[in-house]
Structure 1
Amino acid sequence: MTATTIRQSEALPEAYPDAPESLSTAAAAIADTVWQRIESYVAHRWTPRNVMWIVEGPGEWAPPLTPATFIDESVWQDDAWAAVALSPSPLGGFVLPGCGPYRIDTTVGDTEDD
């Protein structure tokens, strides 16, 4: 059984990768816009940013964006978010044992300097 992502909140990164120096002034001015368009079509993120998912279970769930570093997992209980320890899944995400909803907070994007 697969859990369902019901919301994805993705913050803008602090910066996108540097544009090549050989670009014209006009092309360099829209480099960030080009990165945003590329990222709207692919699951990989090149620069780090916060992404939070709200997921309903039960079942396995893996982040649809990569690479993801998990920060915090919580479940909605008694009208508030409560910390929860979720079991890892073989897909690189979690096994959500109940209906939830669950809040999965991550940093998505390459965090290593090249």
Structure 2
Amino acid sequence: MAVVIKQTESEPVTYPDAPDGLSTAAAAIPAAVIWERIESYVAHRWAERDVEWIVEGPGEWSPPLAPATIDTVEVWTRADEWEVCTPNASPLGGYWLSATGPFRFTG
């Protein structure tokens, strides 16, 4: 199984409005603070943002955050640079990494 060795998320441009049904004290907290706190405990993201994962293989890998759209996959080469690659699909809906990498997934 492939392993994430680094995950970098950018800040979203905006978050949704605060959830309904909050107490008076909780409603006074900015919506972004509420969503950041919720997202720190779950793998779902409510606001779009850029993310990058550095992954070492070999094996099956799927993005640990949802929803996720992968735009680019690159592998680190012996020439000491990132090179675009197209990994095979895995039977579980992610990617099958046949080499050790590291790989850089951006989305």
Q: TM-score, normalised by structure 2?
A: 0.88
Q: What does residue 61 of structure 2 align with?
A: 61
The one-letter code of the counterpart of 1:64 is P
Partner-residue secondary structure (3-state), 2:82: strand
Partner-residue secondary structure (3-state), 1:104: strand
Query: How far, CA to CA, are the matches of 2:20 and 2:58 in structure 1?
Result: 49
Partner-residue secondary structure (3-state), 2:70: strand
Matches within 5 A, 1:29-44: 29-44=29-44
TM-fit CA distance, 1:27: 3.0
Q: What does residue 104 of structure 2 align with?
A: 103
1:19–1:28: 8 Å Cα contact kept in structure 2? no
The alignment covers a number of residue pairs equal to 105
Q: What does residue 110 of structure 1 align with?
A: none
The one-letter code of the counterpart of 2:41 is Y
Q: What does residue 7 of structure 2 align with?
A: 8
Percent sequence identity is 53
Unaligned 5+ residue runs, structure 1? 107-114
1:87–1:95: 8 Å Cα contact kept in structure 2? yes
Unaligned 5+ residue runs, structure 2? none
Q: TM-score, normalised by structure 1?
A: 0.83
